[in-house]
């Protein structure tokens, strides 16, 4: 059965408020992206220990490390992201989760990322090789993000086809495809990608407008989730609603709007016939 999770830093940067709201909404997992106004990759050992104790006390587990790996320009040295990946793997094992979110690079200023296709694929390949060799129980999950190499469905398919396996899966984000101008999402994005998807990010968007609760935008959420349910999808469904602010490295929703986002996600999943815990 699929399970809901959430980027809890969309609720608040205070981890106590994060966990209080998650529990009030009946969510048992979070994707660890940030707390105390710091990204998870920047937290020191004492902060990580404190967060771990708070999770245990609240009965909440970590579904994924919401890292920014690959949300950098491709002209940075390859070692920059490899070192961050090593740290993310340590974090994943510390918090007993399997998944690490990654991206596929921005272009240098004034250039097109498609000009760097070979380098992008080589670097992702090196990440997959490292995880398979050194942390074989972990899984890299690539998100379709605006303006990176893997932003449009055809390049996401290219990445997933090459690397899909025990240590790599695709993460499907509805709103990002809408934001990038993809039309007829079921046919153009979901159908070619569905065999590679092992993770969902739940946010929706109106074409030419703003972020919306799930099912209220143009992401064709109900139709896609109905098909995913029919195909036996049983992974995580991570809420990332961005209902108050959508930034490059994080979004904000706030406690009350987050509760609205959870209820909308539950409703669209029920309508799609997807039972989610």
Q: What percent of the chain has pLDDT over 90?
A: 95
Break the chain into its structural domains and give their ranges. Answer: 3-271
> In whole angstroms, what is the distance from residue 92 CA to residue 101 CA?
11
Q: Does residue 266 contact residue 274 with C-beta atoms inside 8 Å? A: no
What CATH number has the domain spanning 3-271?
A: 3.20.20.150
**pLDDT at residue 70, rounded to an integer:** 98
Q: What digits encode the pLDDT tens for the residues 224-269?
A: 999 999 999 999 999 999 988 555 556 688 999 999 999 999 999 9
Q: What digits encode the pLDDT tens for the residues 108-142?
A: 999 999 999 999 999 999 999 999 999 999 999 99
Let me know if 229 is exposed, middle or buried by CB neighbors in 10 A (0-12, 13-18, 19+): middle
User: What's the whole-number average pLDDT of the chain?
Assistant: 96
**pLDDT at residue 253, rounded to an integer:** 87
Residues of the chain with pLDDT under 50: none
């Amino acid at each position: 059965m699929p399970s809901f999770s959430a980027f809890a830093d969309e609720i608040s940067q205070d981890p106590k408020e994060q966990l209080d709201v998650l529990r009030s909404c009946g969510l048992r997992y979070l994707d660890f992206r940030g707390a105390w106004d710091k990204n998870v990759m920047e937290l020191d050992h004492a902060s990580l220990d404190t967060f771990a104790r708070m999770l245990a006390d609240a009965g909440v587990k970590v579904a994924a490390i919401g890292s920014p790996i690959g949300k950098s320009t491709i002209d940075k040295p390859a070692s920059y992201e490899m070192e961050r990946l090593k740290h993310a793997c340590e974090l994943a094992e510390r918090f007993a989760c399997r998944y690490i979110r990654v991206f596929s690079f921005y272009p240098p200023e004034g250039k097109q990322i498609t000009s760097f296709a070979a380098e992008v694929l080589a670097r992702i390949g090196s990440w997959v090789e490292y995880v398979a060799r050194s942390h074989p129980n972990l899984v890299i999950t690539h998100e379709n993000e605006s303006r990176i190499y893997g932003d449009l469905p055809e390049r996401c398919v290219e990445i997933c086809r090459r690397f899909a396996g025990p240590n790599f899966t695709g993460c499907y984000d509805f709103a990002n495809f809408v934001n990038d101008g993809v039309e007829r999402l079921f046919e153009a994005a979901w159908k070619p990608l569905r065999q590679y998807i092992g993770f969902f990010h739940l946010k929706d968007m109106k074409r030419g407008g703003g972020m919306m609760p799930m099912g209220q935008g143009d992401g064709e959420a109900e139709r896609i989730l109905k098909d995913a349910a029919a195909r036996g999808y049983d992974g995580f469904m991570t809420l990332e609603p961005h209902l108050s602010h959508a930034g490059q490295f994080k979004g904000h929703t706030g406690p009350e709007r987050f509760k609205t986002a959870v209820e909308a996600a539950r409703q669209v999943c029920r309508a799609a016939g997807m039972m989610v815990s």
